[in-house]
Amino acid sequence: MNTLTREFSMTINGKAVTTEQTVPVLNPANETVIAQVPKASQQDLNNAVKAARAAFTAWSAVSIEERASKLEAFSDAIIQQREELANLFTAEMGRPINGGFSSYMEIDSACHWCKVIARYRLPREIIEDNESHTIERYYTPLGVAGLIVPWNFPVLLAMWKIAPALLAGNTIVVKPSPYTPLTTLRIGEIARDIFPAGVFNVVTGENELGQWMTEHPDINKISFTGSTATGKKVLQSAAVNLKRVTLELGGNDAAIVLEDADPKEVVPKLFWAAFSNTAQICVATKRLYVHEKIYDEFLDEFKQYTKNIPIGDGMNPDTLIGPVQNKMQYEKVKALIEDAKSTGTNIVCGGTVEDKTGYFIPITIVDNPPEDARVVTEEAFGPVLPVIKYSNYDEVITKANNTDYGLAGSVWGKDLNLARSIAERLETGTVWINEAHILLPNVPFGGHKQSGIGVENSIEGLKEYTNTKTIMIKKK
Ligand code: NAD
């Protein structure tokens, strides 16, 4: 897709807002600027927060059924624009338009999430009800929620925040990543016709805008998805007015392949566990531990499988893996590959990045690097994967846990009792057995250790947009 002819505007108080200064948005497949988006000033942010604050009183007072019906209408309206949004998404994000992990999937999943979350209701609990006392506990919205989103799943991860924040009665200011703002801005336009003015605001700009949000005295909650490094800054700035925070941060997920696993069966699944979305998934398999008894056969299978995967421009209907989303990430992944090469580690696939237009990196598999290699210890967030040999289960559990991250992990093999006992010992928020990155709206998702604070999804995720409130009535 070449330069887009339409103008993109922020949504503030139900109206389109543009700015004189703009931020360019690139198509990562060809590095051309496809659009310019508004660059919000602090005043623009103040206007959005003021509008959200003003709308809060009425929005929090309408029934949850009414808020849910608006969310359902929102989901239906997005689906009606599905084709345009999926194409826009591929243009800014690079994700293939077709295939299992496609741009259509992003839009469809976001709408599905919105509908499922809209069906949740916050409980009112009677803790005690006797002759002398009634004690009731319920949940109240927090106020204005600032929702900060990364570039790897810009629409779905925004919806993970938008739906529960609004259902609980908060008003919102959404900030997409500067790399992928277009689809979110379009969704903001759709929201203008559905939600009362001020309830749903979208602002765009550079990273400083995120920081202004976290420091803003009239934002009550920040729900942030992004890197652990930025998450730490968010937590610090949020202290200014004791904002509530949910932090969904980085990961360095280990997959452990047991000695009884059948390489032919598990290799295709593990390939996609690692490389879907060009490996730019927080819960992608980023370290792959394989038992020594099957290591050689497994690595051969993996190499063979990798050969047949079409990599290219996401607009090409045959492409299954697109470019890395942005230059910064592209340079980071290239540096990890160069580092692995410089230490003499065997690279069994890929490893050479062609000097051509677009942020394309071949699937690169690093054969048994040492545990302290950068490619093992750092979150690559791109198509380079260390495959590491191990000989006993205690050893591999120790290695898998030897990281500050604790997002997710997986175990693969036929002995489900063994797999389960390993899963219980992994220090992560989620462990899958014989599958990977299955995320569902009714299942809480969150990181342990430095992978985050709090959870998203499920009733637990909804409660993160509320205060708990108790009313005690003394009867006698
Ligand atoms: P990032 O931390 O660079 O940026 C995330 C968002 O924060 C962007 O919108 C950015 O503009 C904004 N931001 C930047 N500086 C800020 C600041 N000082 N204060 C407030 N906001 C600021 O992350 P990214 O590169 O966009 O995303 C990749 C990272 O996100 C990876 O580490 C990945 O693992 C993680 N991630 C985690 C999850 C999860 O659910 N745990 C999901 C997806 C991605």
Q: What are the tens digits of pLDDT across the range 17-58?
A: 999 999 999 999 999 999 999 999 999 999 999 999 999 999
**CA–centroid distance, residue 214 to ligand 1 (Å):** 13
Can you tell me the distance from the alpha carbon of 158 to that of 153, in angstroms, rounded to the nearest whole number?
8
Domains in the chain, ordered, with CATH? 10-249+449-473 (3.40.605.10), 254-433 (3.40.309.10)
Other beta carbons within 10 angstroms of residue 351's beta carbon come to 19
Q: 57: Cβ–Cβ under 8 A, 6 or more apart, which residues? A: none
Query: What's the pLDDT score for residue 308?
Result: 87
The parts of the chain modelled with pLDDT lower than 50 are none
**Active-site residue identified among 248, 301, 379, 456:** 248
Judge if pTM exceeds 0.85.
Answer: yes
| Nearest CA, atom 6, ligand 1 | 150
Query: What's the pLDDT score for residue 61?
Result: 98
The ligand 1 atom at the shortest distance from the C-alpha of residue 379 is 32
Query: What's the pLDDT score for residue 316?
Result: 96
Can you tell me the distance from the alpha carbon of 148 to that of 133, in angstroms, rounded to the nearest whole number?
43
178 in contact with ligand 1, CB cutoff 6 A? yes
> Which residue type, as a one-letter code, is found at position 94?
G
Can you tell me the distance from the alpha carbon of 3 to that of 32, in angstroms, rounded to the nearest whole number?
8
The ligand 1 atom at the shortest distance from the C-alpha of residue 452 is 41
DSSP state of 390: E
pLDDT, one tens digit per residue, over 181-210 is: 999 999 999 999 999 999 999 999 999 999
Query: What's the pLDDT score for residue 476?
Result: 87
CA trace torsion 363, 368, 372, 375 (10° rounding): 0
Query: What's the pLDDT score for residue 99?
Result: 80
Q: 185: Cβ–Cβ under 8 A, 6 or more apart, which residues? A: 8, 9, 10, 11, 37, 176, 202, 204
| Nearest CA, atom 30, ligand 1 | 226
151 in contact with ligand 1, CB cutoff 6 A? yes
Query: What's the pLDDT score for residue 259?
Result: 98
Query: What's the pLDDT score for residue 3?
Result: 66
Active site residue 248: yes
Which of 106, 156, 203, 227 to probe ligand 1 with, by most ligand atoms within 8 A of CB?
227
**CA–centroid distance, residue 227 to ligand 1 (Å):** 4
251 in contact with ligand 1, CB cutoff 6 A? yes
